[in-house]
Amino acid sequence: MRQKDRIVSKALRALSVLLLAGITSSAQDFQIRTRVDLVVVPVTVKGSGDQLISGLSEENFMIFEDGHQQKLSNFTIDPVPLSAAVLLDTGLTATSFIKVQKALPALAGSFSDFDEVAVYRFNKFVTQLADFSKDKSVVEKALNKINDIEPSSPSVSSAPFANSTPVFNGLPVIAPSLGTGGRPTPAKASKVLHDAMFTAANDLAKRPRERRRVVLIVTDGLSSGNDHSFDQAVAQLLEQNIQVYSLGMDAAFLARKTSILDDYSKATGGDIFYVDTQDKLERSYNQAMDEARNQYVLGYFSTNKVQGSLPVFRQIVVKTDRPGLETIHRKGYYQYP
C-alpha cells in the first residue's frame, strides 16, 4: 500500500512539473508574440514574357524594410488554399458584359476544391450574391444570377481610368458650374468600385489566416460616388494582407499604367490582366488564381520599432540575386506600437 502511495505521489509531482513547465512555456510564447510580429510577404517572381519563375530557394531572396535588410525567419513554397472575394462589375458596356457572362463557367472552374469563394456584384451599390463557401454548386448558383442581368451601358460617363473632376485628399472637389447660366450640373450616376473593395476586405478579414486572401475583380476601372476612398480601401487591404487580382475590361492602351486597377494590384502584391476577348478573359481567370495559389512566402521579424502611439507604414522591397527577374509583392504594412 505504501509502495502504491509512493508511486502516486511521484506521478503527481511529475505531473506538477510538466504543468508548470507548460504554463511557463505558454507564458514565454505569449510574451514573444506580443513583443514582436511576424511579417508575412507572399511573392510572385516573373521573368521575360511574364513567365512565372519557380525553383528559387531562401538563399536567392533579400528583403528590406524601410531600406534596412531583414533576416528571413520563414520560407515556404507550398501551395495554399484561397479565400477569394469575386467582384463583378455589372455596369460594363453591353459588349464587355456579355463576354463576362459567357466566361462565367471558366471563372467557377478557376478555383480548386480547397478554395472558398464569395461572390459580389457592384455598380451603384455593392451586393453579396454568396457568402464564402467551398461548395462549387453554391458558387455556380451565385454566378448564374449574373446571367439574369440585362447588359446595359456603363453607369459612369467619364473616360475609362480617368478622373473627371479634381481630387483633393482622395475626395472630388465640387466646383461652381461654369457656362450653364448658374444651373447646377446634373449628378453623374455612380459606380462604387472603392466601396466594393472595402466591403470585400472587411469580409476577408474574418477568414482563417492560414488561407491566402485575395480579391478577384472584373471591371472597367471606373469609380465615383463612393463612401470610401481609394486610400481607405488600400489601407484595409494591406491591414489584412489581401492581394488584388484585377481583370481590366475596355481599357485603352495608353490609360493602362495610370489606371486605379494598376494601383490596387501594385500596392497589394497582386497582378493585373487587361482583356478584350472572351478567350483572354477565361485564360486570365486561371492564370490569376494559379499565381495567387503558388507563391514564395517570406517571413521575418521586423527590427524596426514604433516611436509614439500611432501606427507607422513600413515599406517593403524584395529582391533576388538573379538578374532580370521581377518580384511582385505588397508594398508595405502598418506596424503598431
Strongest mean pLDDT among 27-36, 44-53, 156-165: 44-53
Buried b (16+ CB within 10 A) or exposed e, 254-289: ebbeebbbbbbbbbbbbbbbbbeebebbbbbbebbb
The verdict on residue 15 lying in a domain is no
Report residue 258's pLDDT band, with 50, 70 and 90 as the boundaries: confident
Q: Are residues 247 and 278 in the same domain?
A: yes
Burial degree of 12 (CB within 10 A; 0-12, 13-18, 19+) = exposed
Q: Answer whether residue 60 shows pLDDT above 50.
A: yes
pLDDT digits (tens, 9 = 90+) for 204-242: 999 998 999 999 999 999 999 999 999 999 999 999 999
Mean pLDDT of the chain: 83
Pick from 17-21, 71-75, 287-291, 312-316: least confident: 17-21
Here the CATH number for the domain that contains residue 196 is: 3.40.50.410
CA-nearest of 245, 240, 235, 293 to 269 is 245
Find the helix or strand (DSSP H, E) in which 243 lies: strand 243-248
Residue 33 vs residue 198, higher pLDDT? 198
Q: Would residue 22 count as lying in a domain?
A: no
Could you tell me if 279 and 309 lie in one domain? no
Tell me the residue type at 254. Answer: L
- Please tell me whether residues 133 and 144 are part of one structural domain: yes
Same domain flag for 99 and 248: yes
For residue 21, tell me if it sits in a domain.
no
Mark whether 128 and 200 lie in a shared domain.
Answer: yes
What pLDDT sits at residue 50? Answer: 87
**Alpha carbon 65 to its chain's center:** 20
The 10s digit of each residue's pLDDT in 266-317 is 999 999 999 989 999 999 999 999 999 999 999 999 999 998 899 999 999 9
257 and 329 fall within a common domain: no
Report which of residues 5 and 289 the model is more confident about.
289
Is 228 among the domain residues? yes
CA diameter of the chain? 107
Residues 55 and 201 in one domain: no
Non-local (6+) Cβ contacts of 303 within 8 A are: 65, 68, 70
Q: Which domain holds residue 60?
A: 35-77+295-337
Which residue has better confidence, 104 or 254? 104
25 within a domain of the structure (yes/no): no
- Structurally, the chain folds into a number of domains equal to 2
- Split at pLDDT 50, 70, 90, the class of 49 is confident
11: pLDDT confidence band, cut at 50, 70 and 90? Answer: very low
- Whether 154 is in a domain gets the answer yes
159 — pLDDT class (breaks 50, 70, 90): very low
Shared domain for 192 and 334, answered yes or no, is no
pLDDT of residue 231: 96
Are 106 and 51 in the same domain?
no
Confidence at 252, pLDDT banded by 50, 70, 90: low
Of 255, 274, 292, the residue at which a domain comes to its end is 292
Could you write out the DSSP letters of every residue in 40-105? EEEEEEE-GGGPBP----GGGEEEEETTEEE-EEEEE-----EEEEEEEES-S-HHHHHHHHHTHH
In a domain, 240, yes or no: yes
Q: Which helix (H) or strand (E) holds 288?
A: helix 278-293
On whether both 334 and 246 belong to a single domain, the answer is no
- Domain identity same for 336 and 266: no
- Is residue 8 one of the residues assigned to a domain? no
Q: 170 with 313, same domain?
A: no
User: Has residue 43 got a pLDDT over 70?
Assistant: yes
Instruction: Give pLDDT, residue 23.
Output: 37
Q: For residue 19, is pLDDT > 60?
A: no
Percentage, residues of the chain above pLDDT 90: 70
